[in-house]
Structure 1
Amino acid sequence: MAMGGGSGVGGGRRGRRGRKGPLTEINVTPLVDVMLVLLIIFMISAPLLTVGVPVELPKTEASAVEIKSEPLSVSIDQNGAIFIGDSEADFNDLTTRLFTEAGGADKAAERPVFVRADGRAPYQAVARVMARLSANGFTKLNLITDTAPEA
């Protein structure tokens, strides 16, 4: 009898010991995974955030361009006014005046066009002039820049 009663009580205790208690440790593996993913995202997106840095684009270290024929010169001042040679030109008359200076539309495609834009000129003005020239058959477009001072 003593065996039966003792085994019944002991059997109940063994059942409780067999169960696992509540988990008291924190599993850090998912936390490390999330942190690594965030690190990768920040590493990829960080270079894209530097677009808004002010840069003076017209100063470059480009070498001189070799010219085989006399170039046509288009200048854009800081206010966006367009000049062909030394005289001011309207945006709508730009291509007709360049065709006249080049000696016709067939000769204009062979001659290079130098676009000299002030560093403070609106980007829209420079882009519009280059797009107009490109759309009208001027294929040899060159942006003239100032050379950067040597260190």
Structure 2
Amino acid sequence: MAMSVGPGDSDGPMSDINTTPLVDVMLVLLIIFLITVPVVIQTVPVQLPKVRYEATTTKPENVSLSVRAGPGGECEVYWGQTRVNAGDLLNRAVEKLKLEIEKQGGINAPGLELPEAHIRGDINTPYRCIGGAVFTMQRAGFARVGFISEPTPGQQAG
């Protein structure tokens, strides 16, 4: 609702822009954003663990896997130094677990310590490769699957 005051042709079209509706819309948007932004930014308070380097004690019964991306985007998984495919990995893991359980006296043996799977993943390996190795080891029955990483330079052990 603009009002033109002053000399000029009152019957001609008005060429001034009416900014009142624009200002009204901008004020409403400002109020909406002021109300909704604090709601969106709220997070659940979580205390994240402190990462520190701990020396890995490797037992002979533990399984060491290396995962990397091969040519053409295929996943390469190595059991020790031997390359295995997904089926071989599952079969080997099940057999390893069975042998270790039998060696310790059976599934109901007191103090049964199951082996762990340690996975070394190349930094350029896609997640699907490492995730597939983790899934396969868990499917085979390994309860503890861990990642071997390189500590940041200058970080002390302990």
- TM-score (normalised: structure 2): 0.55
Over 3 Å counting, the alpha-carbon distance change for 1:148 and 1:76 in structure 2 is: same
Mapped contact 2:66–2:119 kept (Cα < 8 A): yes
Out of 85, 89, 93, the residue aligned to residue 90 of structure 1 is 85
Matched with 1:62 is: 53
Give 3-state SS (helix, strand or coil) of 2:69's partner: coil
For residues 47-84 of structure 1, give each alpha carbon's deviation from its aligned partner in whole angstroms, at most 9, with x where no partner exists: 9xxxxxxxxxxxx7432244566421111123220100
Mapped contact 1:75–1:84 kept (Cα < 8 A): yes
Out of 89, 93, 111, the residue aligned to residue 115 of structure 2 is 111
Out of 41, 45, 60, the residue aligned to residue 44 of structure 1 is 41
For residues 88-123 of structure 1, give each alpha carbon's deviation from its aligned partner in whole angstroms, at most 9, with x where no partner exists: 111111022234456626369711111111111111
- Gapped runs of 5+ residues in structure 1? 1-25, 48-59
Question: In 2, Cα distance between the equivalents of 1:74 and 1:87?
Answer: 9
Letter in 2 for 1:34: I
The structure having more radius of gyration, on CA atoms, is: 1
Mapped contact 2:68–2:76 kept (Cα < 8 A): yes
Matched with 2:154 is: 150
Decide which structure has greater helix share: 1
Matched with 1:77 is: 68
Matched with 2:13 is: none
- Gapped runs of 5+ residues in structure 2? 1-22, 44-50, 104-112
Mapped contact 1:72–1:102 kept (Cα < 8 A): no
The two structures, once aligned, show a CA RMSD in angstroms of 3.4
Question: In 2, Cα distance between the equivalents of 1:107 and 1:118?
Answer: 34
Q: Does 1:141 align with 2:142?
A: no
Question: In 2, Cα distance between the equivalents of 1:141 and 1:61?
Answer: 18
Mapped contact 1:69–1:112 kept (Cα < 8 A): no
